[in-house]
Amino acid sequence: MSHDMPLRDIPDEDWERMDALRGDTPREEFVRRSLKKVLFPERTRDDELPFGTEPVIDGNGTVPFTFVDLFAGIGGFRCGLTAVGGKCVKTYEWDKFAAKTYRRWYGVDEEEVIEGDFTEIDPAGIPDHDVLAAGFPCQPFSLAGVSKKQSLGRLHGFDDPDQGNLFFAICRAIEAKKPPVVFLENVKNLTSHDRGRTWAVIWTHLETLGYHVFSQVIDASGWVPQHRERIFIVAFRKATFGPDIDQIGFQFPDPPPPAERPRFGDILEREPDLDKYQLSDALWQYLQDYKEKHRKAGNGFGYGIADPHGVSRTMSARYHKDGSEILIRHDPGENPRRLTPREAALLQGFDDDYARMCGHPDGFPQVVSDTQAYRQFGNAVSPKVVEAIAREIVPILRDAVFRSGHRTLLSKRAYRREAA
């Protein structure tokens, strides 16, 4: 008795639908697996890709996937990835104040957010995930950080004894868990640090681990009213997406058109507490003298008065010291003021839409002191940029799931777990 499957009686319109679903799977194999799932569901492997099943897509056109959030800060990656269907399965953050904000904002417990030195974490204990996201500390590579360390005779880059080796800790996690996608962020100076040798090491390590690497310096001013140039790295695992980089089809997003971009004035509070945030005469005079001294020296250090109709300069983690990077002229003839913590949050893109998504209808609450809040916002990755890039990643991840059967949250087991 022959077990060959006669396929000649299948209507053309059904073939068109099946061809759209089967990817590289031969027609006969696709039909065989589909019939097996219908006739013998108890024999179907629980983690096998559900051929012929549409992906779970929500009202925003997103599909579910899992991610881990390394060097998480206050969750710029978490906001952006959650907005496109991601589910965070573990968070790592060394700073106790940032971890405190993270737990409060995202309603997670002590077990999900792991505090401590990530270099001491056993990568085998990290949960399986689809996307590894990390905004690894930038101070060893930033222009300001390098200049300060050089002036003090300290090591920088990979030689920094405290933070320079964190990229290699990420590599150990990648090697252990082999996530389909790696999504990293750092300062734009990463590509030029040490005459390009630092960037060559990073690129080579990711390639050696089996990834196609894409990178681009993106100015966040297309999404938030702040010039904030950062390098974003997106790497796709060759074993999941194939050996040909041209077939992946990934491109970094273009910024919105100028007419749709936010302006600095959009984030300003109508009635800020001037008693608290307006500069004293002594501090205002000091900042003016400081700027003049550096102007005469031929560099651009010093405060900047932000144009409400434009965008501000970059907010740094040093903003908590004197707020000199970005000042606001509240009234003509009066001393300028600093940003309030809420304005700083909005400047980085932590807006009310993300807050509502995370269960805070009145905006993200301030959990720590102003000093800690400014430091956290200055260190943060903008969730708006993360979301824009993630929207380019998700369709590629979804298509690869259907082609290869890689086990992700699109598996049958995950469907049932999420439904429960």
Within 13 Å, how many C-alpha atoms sit on residue 285's CB side?
3
Q: Which residues pair with 237 in a beta bridge?
A: 211
User: Do the beta carbons of residue 392 and residue 399 sit within 8 Å?
Assistant: no
User: Do the beta carbons of residue 230 and residue 220 sit within 8 Å?
Assistant: yes
User: Do the beta carbons of residue 409 and residue 128 sit within 8 Å?
Assistant: no
Distance CA 149, CA 58 (A): 48
∠ CA 221-85-260 to the nearest 5 degrees?
25
Q: Which of 79, 88, 138, 358 is catalytic?
A: 138
Nearest residue to 338 (alpha-carbon basis) of 327, 346, 347, 322: 327
Distance CA 162, CA 220 (A): 28
Nearest residue to 211 (alpha-carbon basis) of 184, 177, 238: 238
Distance CA 171, CA 174 (A): 5
What single-letter DSSP state applies at residue 294?
Answer: H
Tokens in use for 379?
Answer: 């260190």
Cβ-based neighbour number of residue 169 at 10 Å: 20
Q: Is 358 a catalytic residue?
A: no
Cβ-based neighbour number of residue 413 at 10 Å: 13
* Identity of the amino acid at 336: P
* Active-site amino acid positions: 138
